Amino acid sequence: MKKQNLRSMAAQAVEQVIEQGQSLSNVLPPLQQKVSDKDKALLQELCFGVLRTLSQLEWLINKLMSRPMTGKQRTVHYLIMVGFYQLLHTRIPPHAALAETVEGAVAIKRPQLKGLINGVLRQFQRQQEELLAEFAQSETRFLHPDWLLKRLKKAWPQQWQNIAEANNQRPPMWLRVNRNHHSRDAWLALLEEAGMSGFTHDAYPDAVRLASPAPVHALPGFDEGWITVQDASAQGCMTWLEPKNGEQILDLCAAPGGKTTHILEVAPQASVMAVDVDEQRLSRVYDNLKRLGMKAQVKQGDGRKPAEWCGETQFDRILLDAPCSATGVIRRHPDIKWLRRDRDIKELAQLQSDILDAIWPHLKPGGTLVYATCSILPEENSQQIAAFLKRTPDAALRDTGTPESPGQQNLPGAEEGDGFFYAKLIKK
């Protein structure tokens, strides 16, 4: 395998996210194919880290360079960011970080700029203390775009700083124990035997948080389907859905299939239909079902047009994990901060509302619909459900909040799950 320059690859990946609006989860995997297993993790660390701390790195460049790099030199701008990130946030020895970053200029065919890159990074090393002290006083220190901070302050006047801080952390690794194979405690004992340790969750009976993240294949029984990687808050959907054997259940907006398989773990004899609009992401649903040895009816379809994919069918239970801003999972996907725009929130709220109205007739009388998002913004959550209850006379809220303040909102926390919202609705 030809030795690649990881720093230049990271710079190009970040450039595609910021300049072209591409998602990191689309950009990174093809790049990781080109490097050794050992380097995959470092490449991921550099890309995620730069996007997590982007505002700080941008601020430093503005301080240390008299004019921005534009046009064809733009990749160098991001290469310098990769250099700053290593010096600030990793244990890579500074001389190695510098040498590899400067060499990155050759990989992107800009060898004439090696001196410039070297100069900026060395100047940063000399002024690091005073620069960081100044940054700590700046408006930019929360590492979020202004529009998002404004929304967080308005929605969560007491908690917004904690939320921003949680968003900037590395996420914990949560697992779901497959209760058809082991109880959670029995699997935890196997984990201890393998020399690792984990913690349970008070509210979600299948959830285990690893003391430190580990490769999945090192975990007892991953390949046999004993566990699934899934955030604790995402597992919370089952607490409200309560699927039963023999029922017809719809998992709408189902990709990548974590919740589909959770339904089948809780109710193995349920008949489950998993629907998603994104054909590509549906392949992940098939993969998950296959690994766990489960069967579900998987369909590609638009949630606003259920008649096209389920005809007149009515379901006992519907889980609608609605398309949303994903503002509750920023720590897992730091590119969200830079890909989302303020105007997206209104458009997403309209889409959620359209899907809710379209799918409600497909719920049997007496049936349960759980509306869930991985957002922490009221427009997509409590306000969305309050408006739905007002216009839908046969819908009642159950066990999750009050009609004035509907739903249950989880906020991201270091030892908790991601930001997540649930509302349990019953058809009268």
Binding site, annotated residues: 253-259, 276, 302, 321
Q: Which two tokens stand for residue 8?
A: 């230049």
Stretch (H or E) spanning 396: strand 395-397
- Phi first, then psi: what are they for 369, rounded to 5°? -120, 125
CA atoms within 13 A on the CB side of 393: 0
Closest-CA residue to 148 (of 352, 338, 421, 418):
338
At 249, the amino acid letter reads: I
Cβ 192 vs Cβ 228: under 8 Å: no
Query: What is each CA distance from 27 to 18, 83, 320, in whole angstroms?
Result: 12, 20, 28
Rounded to the nearest 5 percent, the helix, strand and coil shares of the chain are: 50, 15, 35
Query: What is each CA distance from 205 to 176, 238, 272, 317, 410, in whole angstroms?
Result: 9, 10, 22, 21, 16
Cβ 10 vs Cβ 76: under 8 Å: no
Query: What is each CA distance from 130 to 59, 242, 353, 382, in whole angstroms?
Result: 13, 55, 50, 44
Listed in sequence order, the DSSP H helices in 66-220 are: 74-89, 94-107, 114-136, 146-155, 160-167, 184-193
Give Dmax over CA atoms of the chain in angstroms: 71
CA distance 236 to 423: 11
Task: Give strand pairing partners of 84.
Answer: none
- Binding-site residue numbers for S-adenosyl-L-methionine are 253-259, 276, 302, 321
Cβ 16 vs Cβ 22: under 8 Å: yes
Task: Give strand pairing partners of 273.
Answer: 250, 297
Q: How many CB atoms lie within 10 A of CB 217?
A: 7
Establish whether 374 is a catalytic residue: yes
CA distance 229 to 251: 18
- Which residue, chain included where needed, has tokens 């609009």? 277
- Which residue, chain included where needed, has tokens 């970053």? 101
Q: Which of 47, 237, 324, 374 is catalytic?
A: 374
- Give the catalytic positions in this structure: 374
